[in-house]
């Protein structure tokens, strides 16, 4: 308090980063820890992308660039939107930032005033609500239910919208549930938005390519072209291209918003890493076949984890369509006591006791604004997942 700004007191540090850090510390102290908390693929960045970075470095591409992206990358993003989404964005309608997180941050900080509201289908990614609150605006959670596969009902969206609503943030496939909308399911939501012309849509498509069982990806501006002029279609390389550490995200949207985001970025980080930008051109334009290979592994892991968690006492785990997370309910564990005598009153208690008793790190549902549940990331080997799920089964089996 005092010296630190009030705006910082409105927000929390990222819970997923906090759990991952705690797991790393326990491991470093010699504990046998399995962390299922990180939001990143365990696969390596593709070799052609690494080679493009090395080439850029050798060619001296190491200077400041245009604030929101080199023209070559904007052109590659323009091609990507046209090829994969049927969306026609001009380079002046494209913004590139240091990770999808910065792009979302820029969009929200550039548009929100105190008192504005942002509708977030819950459970949702940890950072949306905090960025909204940092901007002085208010997150409004529109609840989804496990029984509906964690998909938002049109009437729930309708009820969440008020004259103060500025944005709906949409994320399919979702972090933390893995739920993904079909075109038809999304159309029911875009129909609601058509009736509310003051509401903009921020579509977080970062898990676009991590979609299973033959499902096709859908994004609001393509499903309902009449929303194109008030939609920011955001994406990034972290997840599908296994490039979390490289920090690159991008978005297409109306010029008025894109130029406001550029202005903000010009006074914070300036351009994203020049070398990463050249690697990103190769990632988007180069071969894409590794994605399907990685997805085969993700499907096997998902099926393993869903089956094993559903055998654990008190857990209920729906089978998600995409991303690399499952979001089981732990309602059956609440009110019980763990083998080591810890009372489980909340999902945070569940996650803490699980980490202490069995050395498995998961992220509690409260961090994603939906309890009692927890998020498991299955972006790790089947052997590790099997071990972790056996420990979770044992932990749940011992609850009294």
Ligand X SMILES: Cc1ncc(COP(=O)(O)O)c(C=O)c1O
Please, which residue, 212 or 395, has the CB nearer to ligand X?
A: 212
Asked if 238 interacts with ligand X (CB under 6 A), we say yes
Distance of CA 8 to the CA centre of its chain: 22
**From the CB of 334, what's the least distance to ligand X, in Å?**
26
For ligand X, the closer CB: 206 or 258: 206
The answer to the question of residue 322 lying near ligand X (CB under 6 A) is: no
| Candidate list 249, 318, 322, 365; residue touching ligand X; CB under 6 A | 249
Residues shown for the chain: 400
Eight-class DSSP state of 372: S
Residue number closest to ligand X, CB atom: 99
Q: Among all chains, which residue has been given the structure tokens 């309608």?
A: 93
Of positions 68, 117, 204, 321, contacts ligand X by CB under 6 A: 204
Question: In this chain, which stretch among 3-11, 55-63, 66-74, 96-104 interacts with ligand X, using CB under 6 A?
Answer: 96-104
Query: What does 122-181 look like in DSSP terms, one character per residue?
Result: ES--HHHHHHHHHTT-EEEEEE--GGGTT---HHHHHHH--TTEEEEEEESS-TTT----
| Min separation Cβ 131 and ligand X, Å | 11
> Quick count: other Cβ atoms within 10 Å of Cβ 90?
11
Per-residue CA distances from 68 to 19, 77, 112 (Å): 32, 12, 20
**Is 189:217 a contact under the CB 8 Å cutoff?**
no
Closest approach of ligand X to the CB of residue 311, in Å: 28
Q: Least CB distance from residue 204 to ligand X, whole Å? A: 5
Q: How far is the CB of 308 from ligand X (least distance, A)?
A: 24
Host H or E run for residue 263: helix 255-266
Among 206, 261, 305, 399, binds ligand X (CB under 6 A): 206
Q: Closer CB to ligand X, residue 56 or residue 210?
A: 210
The pair of structure tokens assigned to 149 is: 């596969």
129 binds ligand X (CB under 6 A): no
137-176 residues near ligand X, rule: CB under 6 A: 171, 175
Please report whether residue 378 would count as binding ligand X according to CB under 6 A: no
- If you search the block for the tokens 């990806």, which residue do you land on? 217
Q: What is the DSSP string of 228-261?
A: GGGEEEEEESTTTTT-GGG--EEEE--HHHHHHH
Q: Which two tokens stand for residue 267?
A: 């006074």
Q: Assess 244 for contact with ligand X (CB under 6 A).
A: yes
Partnered with residue 95 across adjacent β-strands are 251
Give yes or no for residue 78 binding ligand X (CB under 6 A). Answer: no
# chain residues binding ligand X, by CB under 6 A = 13
Interface with ligand X in residues 260-299 (CB under 6 A) = none
Are 112 and 135 contacting, i.e. CB atoms less than 8 angstroms apart?
yes
Least separation in angstroms between CB 142 and ligand X? 16
Shortest Cβ distance from residue 177 to ligand X (Å)? 11
- Residue numbers of the site for ligand X (CB under 6 A)? 39, 99-101, 125, 171, 175, 204, 206, 236, 238, 244, 249
């Amino acid at each position: 308090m005092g010296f630190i700004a009030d705006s910082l007191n409105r927000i929390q540090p990222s819970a997923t980063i906090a759990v991952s850090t705690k797991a790393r510390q326990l491991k470093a102290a010699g504990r046998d820890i399995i962390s299922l908390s990180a939001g990143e693929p365990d696969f390596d960045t593709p070799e052609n992308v690494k080679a493009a970075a090395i080439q850029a470095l050798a060619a001296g591409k190491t200077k400041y660039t245009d604030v929101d992206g080199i023209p070559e990358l904007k052109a590659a993003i323009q091609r990507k939107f046209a090829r994969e989404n049927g969306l026609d964005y001009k380079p002046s309608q494209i913004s590139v930032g240091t990770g999808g997180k910065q792009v979302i941050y820029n969009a929200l900080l550039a548009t929100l005033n105190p008192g504005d509201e942002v509708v977030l289908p819950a459970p949702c990614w940890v950072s949306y609500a905090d960025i909204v609150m940092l901007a002085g605006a208010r997150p409004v959670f529109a609840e989804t239910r496990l029984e509906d596969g964690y998909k938002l009902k049109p009437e729930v969206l309708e009820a969440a919208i008020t004259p103060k609503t500025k944005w709906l943030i949409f994320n399919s496939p979702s972090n933390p549930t893995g739920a993904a909308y079909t075109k038809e399911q999304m159309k029911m939501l875009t129909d609601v938005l058509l009736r509310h012309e003051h509401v903009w849509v921020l579509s977080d498509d970062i898990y676009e390519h991590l979609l299973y069982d033959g499902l096709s990806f859908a994004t609001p501006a393509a499903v309902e072209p009449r929303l194109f002029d008030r939609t920011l279609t955001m994406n990034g390389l972290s997840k599908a291209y296994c490039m979390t550490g490289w920090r690159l995200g991008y978005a297409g949207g109306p010029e008025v918003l894109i130029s406001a985001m550029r202005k903000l970025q010009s006074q914070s980080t300036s351009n994203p890493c020049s070398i990463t930008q050249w690697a990103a051109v190769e990632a988007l334009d180069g071969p894409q076949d590794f994605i399907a290979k990685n997805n085969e592994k993700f499907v096997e892991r998902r099926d393993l984890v869903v089956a094993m968690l559903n055998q654990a006492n008190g857990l209920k785990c729906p089978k998600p369509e995409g991303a690399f997370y499952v979001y089981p309910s732990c309602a059956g564990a609440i009110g019980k006591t763990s083998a080591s005598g810890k009372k489980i009153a909340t999902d945070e208690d569940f996650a803490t006791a699980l980490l202490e008793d069995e050395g498995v790190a998961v992220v509690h549902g409260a961090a994603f604004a939906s309890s009692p549940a927890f998020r498991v990331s299955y972006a790790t080997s089947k052997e590790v997942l099997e071990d972790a799920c056996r420990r979770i089964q044992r932990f749940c089996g011992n609850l009294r």
